[in-house]
Chains A and B, each alone.
Chain A
């Protein structure tokens, strides 16, 4: 067996141990560096490099060479060629080349009943043409746009899949697929691109019955989106980034957010998937709710109290995150490594923990790469049980 294959076997084992609640040989390192950060680190221009799929391998190879990881370390989701072809209003290329998500309204307030009656029809007939200018066209133009967009989507994910497999074999990364799909929580789905942050906040107060019915109506779509076509193997996960809870009152969260979200998570867990939940912002006041989810969900925390999280959900679920990316930007190498030691002392005992930052560094300006390397190297080589 080659060195890389041996390494992959060991890494697969420690990740499998963590995800199944066993204490692994050491704390796995599963960082998720954005492609935008990676492009800039590799010395390419963010305004031009993402347009060429051939750059993906060059960029990722450089990251794999320079940054410690137990699992393929780059994530890439926003493709400028796709959004430009569609005439997107919800994903816009900024002046520096970074994809920005502005506030949008794909569904007007008087269209709730259409969404409730038939969500997928409403998406195809109303929401998509409103979010994507080039789909708001005559049938011929629209069909040509959709064909081009689907081709781009398939090419981009085809490239990502092929390069991930090739570099995982080269560098001995774990055999795992933690991001097979990224279904939203049903409430976030309605909030993010249908109604927008401002509108949904008003709707929750003015027309909660409509919001509740809409959230229930879209739930089957999100379950379908995350379910695998066949029996999932070990280390297979779906990624659910949560957006709105920190901005909701507890009574609204309990009525409008939690029931459908927990239904989705329970369905995925029953199907054998690991549910990787990104707890954006501070979710500490909802910890008791998350403690009720099926065992071995991964809770990726951005902010909050790691000791409280370990105490309340750390015996049932897997914890990651909490490491502040801002420190990687402002701190010295020594301060950054000390912070990793502090979190390991709190979160590693008893297992059910892997190392990741509180969020993905977005661009080279958001974190000093030398600090990232120092922290990942430290954890990768010193966090043994």
Chain B
């Protein structure tokens, strides 16, 4: 079972000489894994077959 860690964080701006640098993007979500699909079959949306 995946441990759930909830951290929402804004890191301080890095020192940079380039004024207009694009914002950094870094995201990771987590959940309990239950995928069993393979290339010959898929049910993407977990809700629809319940």
A and B interact physically: no
Residues of A within 8 A of B (CB): none
Residues of B within 8 A of A (CB): none
